[in-house]
Amino acid sequence: MASPLDALGVDNPVLAAPMAGGPSTPALVAAAAGASGLGFLAGGYKTPDALAEQITEVRDQGVTFGVNLFAPNPLPVDPGAFRRYAATIAPEARAYGLDARAAGIVEDDDHWTDKIDLLLAEPVPVVSFTFGIPDAAVIAALRAAGTLVVLTVTSPAEARLAAGAGADALAVQASAAGGHSGTLTPQHVPAPVPLTDLLRRIRETVSLPLFAAGGLATPAGVAGALRAGAEAVMVGTVLLRADEAGTSRPHRAALADPTRHRTVVTRAFTGRPARALSNRFTDHYGGLAPSGYPALHHLTRPIRQAAASAGDAERINLWAGTGYRHAIAEPAARILRRLASHV
């Protein structure tokens, strides 16, 4: 199957995945384009104005690019569970002069309507969605505007739903991926299905082009995903130490720390399953955190921001996929070209 990226002039099948919270920058997106590939701006957690500024910055460079949004799929938190968890993590907050017990429950949609309006008013080449499937009318409007629409799925059942909603392509995310799982049922942790197996199962289910993601960090891994049915792959963790990435200093250091031996899937930071390097916070609170996104994200965010500023890697979300050992401090274009060397 021909990749829909061919029409966009994208020759490198190794794409720079969106990484919300800072790592995905206009410079990283431009570097991906410079490697004959495609990069995604991460719209999650940004205000519409901030996202518009980044879109303008990339567009002015004359490169093909994508934008990722968090599609609304709320996981409301139980108020009692929220209060108990806030009290449990209060000592971590007090370390930075913060009062977690005073935090209110915030259940927002990340400026969903305003961001969709932005992308319809000023269309971009590609838009991908994570966490949920937008209304078919939204997908149809984006496609009518000339945008390629990619939906993230983690199972054959989700792939069928995404295909039925009108997606142009699917981002197939395996459980080995770093950061949040794109599962449509975040109250459950996705099964640890190997990426190549997941690709084959989904390829048997739908006929849409597939972009593979999750644990890809070597040329051999990329080639294997393409052989298993993907038209392209999306890599994130392996770019976290790239020169152009906006990854925080303590996160970069943790990725290179030889004493950190494992990743875990945790709800501790956001109430939604996400893979990270284990640290004090995941070890102490991973088994205590309730389901509840975005409420827990807003609860822990001040702690994480203060810890990042202080260089404290034990109280921040060290998002990382299973291939984190391959993250190297070098230009992103070199990383992406190397990963495509066995294609």
Per-residue pLDDT tens over the stretch 236-245 = 999 999 999 9
Per-residue pLDDT at 168? 97
Nearest in space to 230 (alpha carbons), one of 14, 11, 36: 14
pLDDT at position 176 over 70: yes
DSSP state of 42: E
| 35, HSE (Cβ side, Cα atoms, 13 Å) | 24
What's the confidence (pLDDT) of residue 3? 79
How far apart CA 177 and CA 124 sit, in angstroms, is 26
In 96-223, which ranges are E strands? 126-130, 148-153, 169-173, 179-180, 210-213
Reported as a single tens digit per residue, the pLDDT across 69-120 is 999 999 999 999 999 999 999 999 999 999 999 999 999 999 999 999 999 9
The position carrying tokens 């945008």 is 147
CA atoms within 13 A on the CB side of 136: 6
Q: How does 9-31 read in b/e, with b if 16+ C-beta sit within 10 Å?
A: ebebbbbbbbbbbebbbbbbbbb
Mean confidence (pLDDT) of the chain:
97
- Residues 6 or more apart from 294 whose CB is under 8 A from it? 74, 106, 107, 108, 110, 270, 271
Listed in order, strand segments (DSSP E) in the chain are 14-16, 39-42, 65-70, 126-130, 148-153, 169-173, 179-180, 210-213, 232-235, 263-266, 274-277
Closest CA relative to residue 65, chosen from 16, 19, 138, 20: 16
* Angstrom distance (rounded) from CA 300 to CA 308: 12
Per-residue pLDDT of 301-311, as tens digits, reads 999 999 999 99
- Would you put residue 229 in left (φ > 0), alpha (ψ -120 to 50) or beta? left
| Gap between the Cα atoms of 22 and 179, Å rounded | 12
Q: How many CA atoms lie within 13 A of 235 on its CB side?
A: 34
Q: Is 129 within 8 Å of 150 (Cβ atoms)?
A: yes
Q: How confident is the model at residue 2 (pLDDT cuts 50, 70, 90)?
A: low
Contact between 283 and 92 (Cβ < 8 Å): no
> H or E segment at 165?
helix 156-165
Q: What is the pLDDT of residues 284-296, one digit of tens each?
A: 999 999 999 999 9
**How many other β-carbons are positioned within 10 Å of the β-carbon of residue 218?**
16
At 197, is the secondary structure helix, strand, or coil? helix
